[in-house]
Amino acid sequence: MISIIVTTYNRRRFLKEATISVLKQDYQNKEVIVIDDGSTDESFREIEGLPVKYVRKENGGISSARNKGIEISQGEYIAFLDVDDLWMKSKLSTQMKLMEEKGYSISYTDEIWIRNGKRMNQKLKHKKYSGDIFERCLPLCIISPSSVVIKRELFDKVGLFDESLPVCEDYDLWLRISARYPVLFIERPLIIKRGGHDDQLSKSYEAMDKFRIRSLVNILKSGILNETQEIKAVEDMKTKCRIVANGAKKRGRADEAEYYLKLGEDFIINT
């Protein structure tokens, strides 16, 4: 069984369509859990009468919402859907078939990107890969949570989403997984990602690399990386620290710039 966790916070206008795209999946053995992270827009009215488990919790952020869904789920596999995204009808059946055939515990798919109602092309930096992709995951998040199917036991090995990260929590989890497990990429666009709206979470935070740096520090300190992975992680962190430091200098924040430059240097010395 697959447990599908749909997370929402004040996105009533998207919730019904997203949920229906899950219910219409041609993969039958599933449970659908909607985690409402403390919405104040009466989102629940959009899914009244639908065969889903609705759970409303106190607002705590996207990571706490996904973790709550994992906690109460019963499936052997876990899938996520961010409420502003949609699934193609054959998404789950395609992933489960290929994961079983190829022996993978996690897979993700290609995507169709819609921004402000218009289809967008993905850039080269968003190119996706199969296999041992840890190094490919270092620059930025190439795996969309809405595209993933994960065997539940992986969370027992690598942990859940980091609730201290307000953004880049997916980047953090994919680093922890891809450092240990091969990842299957399915070259079919089986989800639609809709962006560009004003309340998009990533628009709320300056310098996203600050949060990626936190993830890199954590995984470098964890001791789980092999020598090659560690070298690549330090190189990427050095680049990110330099970018954030330059941005801080331009904004007149000399202490912050010095902190990030020193952080990168300290890890280089330690290796």
H-run or E-run covering 194: strand 184-195
Phi, psi of 168, deg, nearest 5: 65, 20
- Domain span at 66: 2-203
Residues with Cβ within 8 Å of 266's Cβ and at least 6 positions away in sequence, in order, are: none
The model's pLDDT over 42-77, given as tens digits with 9 standing for 90+, comes to 999 999 999 999 999 999 999 999 999 999 999 999
**CATH code of 48's domain:** 3.90.550.10
**58 contacts 164 by C-beta, under 8 angstroms:** no
C-alpha closest to that of 128 among 170, 82, 187, 174: 187
Structurally, the chain folds into a number of domains equal to 2
- Looking at the fold, whether 191 and 238 belong to one and the same domain comes out as no
- Looking at the fold, whether 27 and 132 belong to one and the same domain comes out as yes
- Looking at the fold, whether 83 and 27 belong to one and the same domain comes out as yes
- Looking at the fold, whether 196 and 216 belong to one and the same domain comes out as no
What's the distance, Cα to Cα, between the start and end of the chain in Å?
43
- Looking at the fold, whether 163 and 221 belong to one and the same domain comes out as no
- Looking at the fold, whether 137 and 175 belong to one and the same domain comes out as yes
Measured in whole angstroms, the distance separating CA 35 from the mean position of its chain's CA atoms is 16
- Looking at the fold, whether 194 and 242 belong to one and the same domain comes out as no
Ranges of the chain whose pLDDT falls below 70: 197-206, 268-271
- Looking at the fold, whether 255 and 234 belong to one and the same domain comes out as yes
Would you tell me the crossing angle of helices 209-222 and 254-270 to the nearest 10 degrees?
30
- Looking at the fold, whether 125 and 59 belong to one and the same domain comes out as yes
